[in-house]
Amino acid sequence: MSIFPRLGWITTCTLLTLLLSGCLMPQTDAARTALFTPTLFATATQTPVPPTLTATQTPTFTAIPSPTSTPEPAGCQKPPEDYTQVEVNNGWTINQRTLAMLTHAQELYGGEIEISGYAITQGSYHDNGSYSFGTHLGGGAVDLSVMRRGTYTVLWEEVEPLLRALRAAGFAAWLREYGEVYADSAIHIHAIAIGDRELSAAAQDQLTGPAGYFRGYSGLPFPDGGTPTPDRYGGPILCQWMIDLGYRDLR
């Protein structure tokens, strides 16, 4: 029997024994450290990004105008600045500005008294002495009948609507009753065109003087120490064009 197979088997056993003994030998601390020491790897650190702030547009508000507490009175209409003198009923003279105001008042009134025609009983630029206190010496003054045409019948129901129309058209206007101006004076409406640049001083005084229309009075003179006569038909009508000329409610 050959010895070589036995030698091969012995060699194999020897190698196997050596390998097993190497695996079973206790490991040193150095070896363990080498095997289990963790390796640190650099990792990217994410930097937090702050949120982007978006500017918000502040809303804007458009102011809404509030309604005026003193609306323009009905019928207000600025008269034309035409001072051409014209002849009207019975040869009386007035200027075109006054005539335009009378025509506008007639439209507002709409009654039977023709205030731009037969009803004119005294015009402007006229001197009748002390009877009218000098109010008709310049422009803008007119007296109007309140009687039915061709009669002596007073149209009492027409007086107040006619006065309202005259005032809205731009006149300081009052009813002068029988004997109110002087003894036996006729009943009529006396009217002064507000803002007429040719008014006499006495007519202007009837607007803004102590007994004036804009102070709530009748425009009639009163004795020293006396009291002005109140306006029996309410206070003045104040249009914007009058305010623009400098007139105010002086009550």
Q: Give the three-state DSSP class for 241.
A: helix
Q: Are 142 and 98 in contact (CB under 8 A)?
A: yes
Question: In terms of Cα–Cα distance, which of 94, 92, 95, 114 is closest to 103?
Answer: 114
Q: Are 248 and 202 in contact (CB under 8 A)?
A: no
Mean pLDDT of the chain: 82
Please tell me the predicted confidence (pLDDT) of residue 39: 46
Please tell me the predicted confidence (pLDDT) of residue 57: 52
Alpha-carbon span 114 to 112, nearest angstrom: 6
Specify the DSSP class assigned to residue 154.
B
Would you kindly state where each structural domain of the chain is located, as residue ranges? 85-244
List the beta bridge partners of residue 190. Answer: 143, 174
Question: In terms of Cα–Cα distance, which of 191, 179, 185 is closest to 143?
Answer: 191
Between the ranges 8-12, 33-37, 127-131, where is the mean pLDDT highest? 127-131
Does the pLDDT at position 55 exceed 90? Answer: no
Please tell me the predicted confidence (pLDDT) of residue 63: 44
Does the pLDDT at position 81 exceed 70? Answer: yes
**Model confidence band, residue 70 (pLDDT cutoffs 50, 70, 90):** low
Does the pLDDT at position 110 exceed 70? Answer: yes
The residue whose two tokens read 């002086």 is: 250
Please tell me the predicted confidence (pLDDT) of residue 46: 52
Specify the DSSP class assigned to residue 217.
B
Give one DSSP letter per residue of 107-127, joined into a string: HHH-SS--TTTTTEEE-BS--
**Model confidence band, residue 129 (pLDDT cutoffs 50, 70, 90):** confident
Q: What is the pLDDT of residues 20-33, one digit of tens each?
A: 444 444 444 444 44
Q: Determine the average pLDDT of the residues in 57-67.
A: 45
Please tell me the predicted confidence (pLDDT) of residue 154: 98
**Model confidence band, residue 89 (pLDDT cutoffs 50, 70, 90):** confident
Q: Are 187 and 146 in contact (CB under 8 A)?
A: yes
Question: In terms of Cα–Cα distance, which of 151, 191, 148, 143 is closest to 170?
Answer: 191
Say what the pTM is: 0.72
**Model confidence band, residue 88 (pLDDT cutoffs 50, 70, 90):** very high
Q: Determine the average pLDDT of the residues in 196-213.
A: 98
Q: Give the three-state DSSP class for 86.
A: strand
Please tell me the predicted confidence (pLDDT) of residue 52: 52
First to last CA, the chain: 159
Q: Are 105 and 166 in contact (CB under 8 A)?
A: yes
Q: What is the CA radius of gyration of the chain?
A: 55
